[in-house]
Amino acid sequence: MTAAPVVARTRDELATARAALTGGDTAVVMTMGALHEGHARLIRTARERAEHVIVTIFLNPLQFGPKEDLSRYPRTFDSDPAICTREGVDLVFAPDPRRHLPRRRPRRAHLRGTARRRPRGAVPAGPLRRDAHRRRQAHAPDGR
């Protein structure tokens, strides 16, 4: 039988438990709880790719809008660790939102006008930038 994972509820507990996972890579599967077979497949994939697996179970109230019903989201922490045990998870981090989030809902900034626009011809970093560069090369008269 597989040993039950360590359950950390605070950042300090997480740091201590994480430090005990020595050698090899660590994969993290982030969830909002209510674990099901889809989560189990993610955990198995993580296990195939790393020696240690951490599952986070955190129902973040900030992910819900004012018209979305946080109170109706399933909370199944009593059964979630059983799936983690079955799948061989090493560590579960399940913090209490009341301890890890600000007391008031944070203000959100909405950028408008020129602060939001990119300068003409600017392309974000990464694949889009490379693609834009290739397109410019293809259309340049001398091929450069």
Instruction: Give catalytic residues, as residue numbers.
Output: 39
30: which strand partners?
Answer: 56
Which tokens go with 22?
């020595």
- The rounded distance, in Å, linking the Cα atoms of 132 and 121 is 9
Helix count (H) and strand count (E) of the chain? 5, 4
How many residues in total does the chain contain?
A: 144
Name the amino acid, one letter, at 121. G
Q: Is 93 exposed, middle or buried (0-12, 13-18, 19+ CB in 10 A)?
A: buried
